[in-house]
Every structure is written in structure tokens, then in C-alpha cells.
């Protein structure tokens, strides 16, 4: 479905909202998920941004975690062995800073088994320089093509909504050799404490997620659907079967659940359970039959 990546179902968990899965193991049957995308890893460990790192907003969550992680070596050594046992697809999320880092990531990934695909996070709004590849189609194409040359795994590219033409950036990723587009990452935002005249997040600006961004995410998915031939993983404010179906008809072949995992940790399973009836309502046998069928 996404290159050689074939999912048993189209419901996955989004990077950064599901830990490294072990945290959620007591809450739901992880083997039922179509796939798990653990927290983004960088080449070297990162301490992340100063707290507070999250603040609730109307129908949303604003975060500025800043890609806090222990680096790729620690991930491959200590997190991957557990993830491999879960009976679902493991899509590792990486954030290379430049093309040189792409080559090093490629070398390291070539030495391990148990990773089913890679999602390149070119779109984190909370790290300096983190978004450049997602704002320029040519840069996006370059980073993706560099990476695709050195890995044999299917490659997904996660895009930012904080651009003027997301369809063009998606085309860059497609031309670079991506097998799928994940959209969207968080929307750049700001929460203010006017009495203190300061931002509520330690880092100032942050990334908005949750129900508040669903209309933006749907708009982006539609624009990408009209711009590329590769399949799309829709992300942004999805919690219920209705949200999921909206993304499928808009153009997503699969979906990722993010912020909903924090307040409804079984949202993924609820969507999976409700999917057959919802498809039936449209007279469809499977998701593929309804992808992109929106009248727009």
C-alpha cells in the first residue's frame, strides 16, 4: 500500500503521542493496530525545550516538546527489541538535520531488522531549523531522495501545515521517491498569559494539535490528494469513527491518531471496531473504495 509496506488495517498511532508503546500496553491490545510510529528520534540525544512544554487550549493542545529523545543508537538498542514483538508494523520516525545525517541514519538502519518503514519528520515546529525541509519543495525532494538512495525500506514524509502550498511540498517528496505522505504535523501557535505578559509555553511558540486542527488537516489532505499519486496518511484531530471516515473520503488511505491517545487511549480500537458498519453505510467493502471520493 505504501511502497512495500502493507498494513493489516488503516489505523495507526502518531509519533510523539504514544510514547514507545510500552506505556500503552496495559490499556489496549497493541497487535490490533495497523501500525505504531514511536516518538521521533534524532541522530544525537536531545534534551528538548524548557518547561512548561504543554498547555491546553480550546479544543486543542499546544506543545513545545522540542524533540526530546535519547538518540537513534539508544532507540535501536533499547526500544526497538520490544516494539518488534508487538505484532504490528513499526514505522520509525526520524528527523535528520541535513543530507549528511540522512546517510548516517541510512547506515544505522541497514544494520537492524524489525523496522517496517521510516517516516521522515521534516515538519517539527518546535526545534530551530526543524522545518526548513517542509517549507521548500526542492529541499524536501533533496532530503527525501538522499535518504531513499541509502535505505531499502518504504519511506513516508511527514509534512507541516505551516506553509503556503502543501501540495507543492508533497510533490517534492513524491519526486524524491517517497512512498507516502503523512499530513499533518502540528500548526504553529501561541498561548498567552496577558497578566504576566508572557507566553504560557517555556519556549514561546508551540504546535497546536487535537480537534481544533481537524479542518486544517482535512484541507491539507485534500490539497495533497489533488497534487500527488502516492497515498496519504491523514493526521489531525482524529478521535472518532466520523473523524476517520471524513479523512478517508477526503483522500487519506490510512489515518494516525495523535492527541486523542492522551484523553481517550482506546480511540484507535473504537475506530477499528466501528469501521465495518461505517463502510457498510456507504455500501463499501473496504477503505480503498472510498478514498478521495469527496465531491470537491
Ligand X SMILES: Cc1cc2nc3c(=O)[nH]c(=O)nc-3n(C[C@H](O)[C@H](O)[C@H](O)COP(=O)(O)O)c2cc1C
Active-site residue list: 124
Q: Is 144 helix (H, G, I), strand (E, B) or coil?
A: helix
Residues 177-206 that bind ligand X (CB under 6 A): 185-186
Residues in contact with ligand X, counted by CB under 6 A, come to a total of 27
Which of 16, 125, 161, 206: binder of ligand X (CB under 6 A)?
Answer: 16
Q: Whole-angstrom Cα distance, residue 213 to residue 29? A: 28
Residue 61 binds ligand X, judged by CB under 6 A = yes
Residues 226-285, interacting with ligand X (CB under 6 A):
235-238, 257-260
Task: Among 14, 140, 254, 267, indicate the residue that binds ligand X (CB under 6 A).
Answer: 14
Among residue numbers 27 through 46, which ones bind ligand X (CB under 6 A)? Answer: 39-40
In this structure, are residues 237 and 211 in contact, taking their beta carbons and an 8 Å threshold? Answer: yes
For ligand X, the closer of residues 146 and 209 by Cβ is 209
Cβ neighbour number for residue 100 with a 10 Å cutoff: 11
Q: How many CB atoms lie within 10 A of CB 262?
A: 14
DSSP class of residue 19 equals: T
**Least distance in Å: CB of 33 to ligand X?**
15
**Distance of alpha carbon 160 from its chain centroid, rounded?**
10
234 Rama sector, left if φ>0, alpha if ψ -120 to 50, beta otherwise: beta
> Per rule CB under 6 A, is residue 93 in the interface with ligand X?
yes
Interacting residues toward ligand X by CB under 6 A: 14-17, 39-40, 61, 63, 65, 67, 93, 121, 124, 158, 185-186, 209-210, 213, 235-238, 257-260
Amino acid at each position: 500500500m505504501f511502497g512495500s509496506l502493507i498494513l493489516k488495517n488503516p489505523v495507526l498511532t502518531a509519533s510523539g503521542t504514544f510514547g514507545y508503546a510500552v506505556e500503552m500496553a496495559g490499556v489496549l491490545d497493541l497487535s490490533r493496530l495497523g501500525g505504531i510510529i514511536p516518538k521521533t528520534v534524532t541522530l544525537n540525544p536531545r534534551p528538548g525545550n524548557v518547561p512548561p512544554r504543554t498547555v491546553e487550549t480550546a479544543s486543542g493542545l499546544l506543545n513545545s516538546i522540542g524533540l526530546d529523545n535519547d538518540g537513534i543508537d539508544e532507540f535501536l538498542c533499547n526500544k526497538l527489541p520490544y516494539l518488534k514483538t508487538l505484532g504490528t508494523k513499526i514505522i520509525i520516525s526520524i528527523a535528520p538535520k541535513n543530507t549528511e545525517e540522512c546517510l548516517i541514519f541510512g547506515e544505522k538502519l541497514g544494520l537492524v531488522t524489525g523496522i517496517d518503514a521510516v517516516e521522515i519528520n521534516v515538519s517539527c515546529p518546535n526545534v530551530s531549523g526543524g522545518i526548513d525541509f517542509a517549507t521548500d519543495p526542492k529541499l524536501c525532494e533533496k532530503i527525501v531522495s538522499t535518504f531513499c538512495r541509502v535505505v531499502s525500506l518504504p519511506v513516508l514524509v511527514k509534512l507541516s501545515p505551516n506553509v503556503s502550498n502543501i501540495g507543492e511540498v508533497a510533490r517534492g517528496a513524491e519526486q524524491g521517491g517517497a512512498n507516502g505522505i503523512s499530513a499533518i504535523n502540528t500548526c504553529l501557535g501561541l498561548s498567552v498569559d496577558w497578566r504576566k505578559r508572557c507566553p504560557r509555553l517555556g519556549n514561546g511558540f508551540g504546535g497546536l494539535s487535537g480537534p481544533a486542527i481537524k479542518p486544517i488537516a482535512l484541507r491539507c489532505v485534500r490539497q495533497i490528494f489533488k497534487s500527488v499519486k502516492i497515498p496519504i496518511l491523514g493526521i489531525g484531530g482524529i478521535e472518532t469513527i466520523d473523524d476517520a471516515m471524513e479523512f478517508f473520503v477526503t483522500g487519506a488511505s490510512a489515518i494516525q491518531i495523535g492527541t486523542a491517545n492522551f484523553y481517550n487511549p482506546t480511540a484507535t480500537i473504537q475506530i477499528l471496531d466501528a469501521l465495518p458498519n461505517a463502510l457498510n453505510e456507504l455500501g463499501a467493502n473496504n477503505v480503498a473504495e472510498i478514498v478521495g471520493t469527496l465531491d470537491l
